[in-house]
Structure 1
Amino acid sequence: MAIELELKLMLQSEHLTSASNFLDNICASSNHDGQSRLPTLTLMNAYFDTQDGDLMQAGMALRIRAVNGQFIQTVKTRGSNRIGMHARGEWEWQLPNARLDLTLLTQVPLPESLADMAWGAQLVEVYRTDFERQVWNIDCHNTQMEVVCDRGLVTSPYGEDAICELELELKSGDEAGLYEFALQLAECVPVQVSLVSKAQKGVRLKNRHIEFPEKLHNTTDEIALAAYWYEVWLAYWEAMYFMQDEALMQPVRHSMSQLSDCLPDDLALTVTRLDQMLVAQLKEDETAILKTLAGMTQIGIVMLNIGKWLNQQTI
């Protein structure tokens, strides 16, 4: 088993070339052996679950990936909570063909609800992802990471959703280095932090449900409250683009306001200034507001700085 720790960034398709150029330039300007662009991959992933979504409800994703004529079976678990990041258990096995081998799951500590394996006979392909992946190895701020740029589609009988994202996966070093490098990128390319995995994109095509962090009750812990409102902000932001509904700007701004009350003064000021920028944009052109906001670098910079600070408080 490996623990996969990654920082996911959403961006709109018109900014993909800028992101690729930025990463190419980083590699071209360095003589470091740890920095290089790898061959582009074309990936297909078929995700399996029961019709009732038993695996999803237990926090597990099961897939088969086809890449360059090879087949890989993967199990991912929800893992531990890392504010604004994805931290998941991951198990992988090479397969001779595109058929699931459930006997391999004896190596996985399954949730109690799945332990009897009765669900195995009820598995169906519930959605799939098809995307092109560009890959870079980056060594920055004493951190080795793999950066990928994915573009494609999630499809299911219930519809489709776009994949357009960057993932910074920690290979070795300090996770703060992921944030430092992401901030360098965000200065040049408009990106925003995302908590939504490709598996979650597939699931919500059926239920149209937006996942939010679990509500807090009866707590005065400022860090816990800040983490909660930060993730609510990220959830509403991504939902606004998934649903193409600018009306969600109201809960976006409300979560920003609540978050600001839990932050130290310097970070709270950046949120206040960002909110003022959002209001100004809303007044200028409501008809193209989603496209306009997607091109603002300041949004991702504020998200990343707060995420970096929150993770430092919880280490």
Structure 2
Amino acid sequence: MPQEIELKLAVPDDALAPLAAWLDANGAPQGEATLLNVYLDTPQRDLAQARAALRLRRKGAQWLQTLKTAGSSQGGLATRHEWETEIAGEAIELQTFPAEAQTVLAPLIGRLAPVFRTDFVRRTWLVTQDGARIEAALDTGTIAAPASAAQEPIQELELEWLDGDAAHAADALRAFAARLATVAALAPSDLSKAARGYRLAGIAESKAS
């Protein structure tokens, strides 16, 4: 089962430029992309109650669908299961997901609808730490709930373990974050974009009712 191990750090305004400059100098820049995302759930929020998130993402001309299921998050370090497949357009293609993901989604497929959006620009670098290969992704943008004009800013750095000794993935991520702490004041964040989006959507829906 695919597993995602990442460390999320909140980035203050005055840290954006020095952080990017340090990563340019100490990592391998991978470029910049605009990511447009819509998260779906049922009116009863079945996925949220199961601590899962379903996302459609547009990256240039490419469309991706992603399902993330329950994991753990502490001190900004998150471990969760994730399935992602390429699709033709802005619609879930259940049959292209692996069987495990299809089992989760099949009972809900007819009731899924957009709940919130996260749209942001992502700059990425490849870095190494203690034998581990890590992707550093700097995201800046907004979370928006369609039910209202409510928005929240996205300004965070995600450090995702790509390969190396899985048993020491968390240690490698924390060690690299400690190096970054000498560059800028970064705070661990346990709230994913999806969790923040659901919170914003809940506030918007309570005001609309």
The bucket for the TM-score relative to the shorter chain is 0.7 to 0.9
Of 190, 196, 206, the residue aligned with 1:201 is: 196
Match of 1:170 in 2: 161
Q: Which residue of 1 aligns with 2:12?
A: 12
What's the offset of the Cα at 1:109?
Answer: 5.1
1:254-306: CA deviation from partner (whole Å, max 9, x where unpaired): xxxxxxxxxxxxxxxxxxxxxxxxxxxxxxxxxxxxxxxxxxxxxxxxxxxxx
Partner of 2:176: 181
List aligned pairs for 1:1-315, cutoff 5 A: 1-27=1-27, 36-79=28-71, 81=72, 83-84=74-75, 85-105=77-97, 107-108=99-100, 117-156=106-145, 157-158=147-148, 159-173=150-164, 174-175=168-169, 176-208=171-203
The structure that is helix-richer by fraction is 1
What is the TM-score of this pair, normalised by structure 2? 0.87
RMSD: 1.8
Taking a change above 3 Å as real, the CA distance of residues 118 and 172 of structure 1, as seen in their structure-2 partners, is: closer
Deviation at 1:106, TM superposition (A): 5.7
How many angstroms does 1:20 deviate by? 0.4
Partners of 1:106 and 1:6 in 2: how far apart?
Answer: 22
The Cα offsets for residues 108-152 of structure 1, whole Å up to 9 and x where unpaired, read as 2578xx57x342211111111110000000012222100000000
Amino acid at match of 2:163: S
For 1:188, what is the secondary structure of its paired residue?
coil
Deviating above 6 A after TM superposition, structure 1's stretches of 4 or more consecutive aligned residues are none
Aligned residue identity for 2:64:
I
Give, as a single letter, the amino acid of the residue that structure 1 aligns with 2:138: C
* C-alpha deviation, 1:95, in angstroms: 0.6
Task: Give the C-alpha shift of residue 102 in structure 1.
Answer: 2.2
Letter in 1 for 2:16: L
Instruction: Answer 1 or 2: higher relative contact order, Cα 8 Å, separation at least 6.
Output: 2
CA distances 1:202-258 after superposition (whole Å, capped 9, x unpaired): 1000234xxxxxxxxxxxxxxxxxxxxxxxxxxxxxxxxxxxxxxxxxxxxxxxxxx
Paired residues, number: 196
Q: TM-score, normalised by structure 1?
A: 0.59
Query: Which of the pair is proportionally richer in strand?
Result: 2
Distance 1:77 1:179 in 2: 23
Unaligned runs of 5+ in 2: 204-209
Q: Relative to 1, partners in 2 of residues 1:106 and 1:93: Cα closer, same or farther, differing over 3 Å? A: closer
Shift of 1:181: 1.1
Query: One-letter code of the match for 1:104?
Result: T
Which letter does structure 2 place at the counterpart of 1:8?
K
**Distance across 2 between alignment mates of 1:69 and 1:169:** 24
Letter in 1 for 2:173: L
Mind listing any 5+ residue stretches in structure 1 that lack a counterpart?
A: 28-35, 209-315
